Amino acid sequence: MQFRTDRQRATGLGAAKEGVGHWWNQRVTAVALAVLVLLFIWPLGSALGEDYDEVLETYRNPFNAIVAILMFATAFYHLKLGLQVVIEDYVHGKAMRTALLLANTLLCAFFGIAGVFAVVKIALGA
């Protein structure tokens, strides 16, 4: 005979109380990317076929540089969140899951920072 209620048996089990925040972050970055990708593609498309100096001049425009930086940062953060869900759902070994989550975070951070660095270098003319 158990003297615990259903709530007492369930306490401490279930969600880690981070799922909703993660879900919202993914949705917010998805909406932001819908706008940022359009704003990123517009000057990129107009610069196609131009010579090297004109392409550099396109991204020396502060608005285009800021949009590109925001797009890279948001895209790689969104990628990290999406891959994290896939890894957590489909990788069952604790050591492998931990290694893949760490690799996911490091690689997304590396490529995001590399993209931001490239845009800053172009924008500042260095």
User: Does the residue 3 lie in any domain?
Assistant: no
User: Does the residue 86 lie in any domain?
Assistant: yes
Residue-wise pLDDT for 60-92, tens only, equals: 999 999 999 999 999 999 999 999 999 999 999
Spatial contact of 42 and 74, defined as CB atoms under 8 Å apart: no
Spatial contact of 60 and 122, defined as CB atoms under 8 Å apart: yes
Determine the structural domain holding residue 60 and report its residue range: 22-123
Residue-wise pLDDT for 89-105, tens only, equals: 999 999 999 999 999 99
Tally the domains of the chain.
1
pLDDT at 14 over 60: no
83: domain CATH number is 1.20.1300.10
User: Does the residue 4 lie in any domain?
Assistant: no
95-106 CB burial, b ≥16 within 10 A, e <16: eeeeebbeebee
This prediction has a pTM of 0.83
DSSP single-letter state for residue 61: S
H helices of the chain, in order, are 6-10, 19-47, 52-60, 62-90, 94-123
User: Does the residue 27 lie in any domain?
Assistant: yes
